[in-house]
Amino acid sequence: MQIVRGRAPSNTPSQHRTDTFTGTVWGDPVLPSTAEGNAINSVTFTPGARTYWHHHTGGQILVVTAGLGWVCPHGEKPQVIRAGDVVWVPPGERHWHGGTTETVMTHLAISIGPTSWLDEVSDEDYLAAIGEGTQ
């Protein structure tokens, strides 16, 4: 058993996430990654920022804590997510998530098992959210 009091580790500054994100994204570990690949991170997306396409071995839970954003399963239209929403992404489902073009969004990302990072979400895929009137 592991108990984390407050943010963990407490002496770690917010991380500017760049390798698997587009735009300005900040992350803070809440629970460091376990040996099984489980992790909890608080992630803040600035307007236009988003993850790359990815999927999780055991699925992912997103708990939106502030702002307004989008989540998009592959082959579907982006869906609006806002503070208070909880999103379940099933194991292996290719998806992306991030802020809208005009809003910041913060969520807790609870990753169950390892994350497989894929290709960058193109501006075309991202801007499809606007064309579908999802904001």
Contact 90, 98 (CB under 8 A): no
Structure tokens given for 36: 């099984």
User: What is the pLDDT, as a whole number, of residue 118?
Assistant: 97
pLDDT of residue 30: 86
Confidence (pLDDT) at 35:
87
pLDDT of residue 37: 87
Between CA 75 and CA 39, with CA 135 as vertex, the angle to 5 degrees is 65
User: Residue 7: what pLDDT?
Assistant: 55
**Unique residue bearing structure tokens 């040996």:** 35
Low-confidence residues of the chain: pLDDT under 70: 1-14, 129, 132-135
Q: How far apart are alpha carbons 50 and 62 in whole angstroms?
A: 14
pLDDT, tens digit (0-9, with 9 covering 90-100), for 9-19: 556 666 777 88
- pLDDT tens digit sequence for 114-126: 999 999 999 988 9
pLDDT digits (tens, 9 = 90+) for 44-59: 999 999 999 999 999 9
